[in-house]
Structure 1
Amino acid sequence: MRSDSTRFRIDPTPRRADGEFMAHARISTNRPDGSQYDIYSSGDLAAFELREDAIVYAENWAKQWLDARFG
């Protein structure tokens, strides 16, 4: 990611549904006063059998999303 990675936080925690892990990403940053707010929440991106695969997919997706907008 070319954008300042310290500016943004990616939460790639998947949710469990129907025996699969649903990848999604929540992207947040801080306001000047230090409070956190969400920039974007992706919704479900893809389903995976392994939790780790869902996390990697969501992280990569979020980095591409940030690059397209702030890169």
Structure 2
Amino acid sequence: MRFNSTRIVIDPTPRRADGEYMAHARISTNRPDGTEYDIHLSGDLPGFDAREDAIAYAKHWAQEWLDARFG
């Protein structure tokens, strides 16, 4: 089952380190008062030569993480 919510935001912005893009996922949502808070920060995931590959990996990783906990 795939987790699906319009209230959850996945930020898959990688960080650049040692000549590669380290995949990273920030999963957040908003409280009823509108303030944002983090549900989970992945830490560094695998590194990739291409930024787009790191982003795709992080999005997939975050979706799997959400499915395992809330799906």
TM-score normalized by structure 2? 0.94
Q: Deviations over 1:9-63 (max 9, x none)?
A: 0000000000000001000001111111000000001000000000000000000
Structure 2 spans left out of the alignment, 5+ residues = none
Cα displacement (A) at 1:5: 2.4
Structure 1 spans left out of the alignment, 5+ residues = none
Is 1:41 the counterpart of 2:63? The answer is no
Is 1:23 the counterpart of 2:23? The answer is yes
User: Which residue of structure 1 aligns with residue 4 of structure 2?
Assistant: 4
Spell out the pairing of 1:52-67 with structure 2 (5 A cutoff): 52-67=52-67
CA RMSD of aligned residues (A): 1.1
Whole-Å separation in 1 of the counterparts to 2:12 and 2:49: 15
Cα displacement (A) at 1:4: 3.2
Whole-Å separation in 1 of the counterparts to 2:22 and 2:3: 26
Whole-Å separation in 2 of the counterparts to 1:5 and 1:53: 24
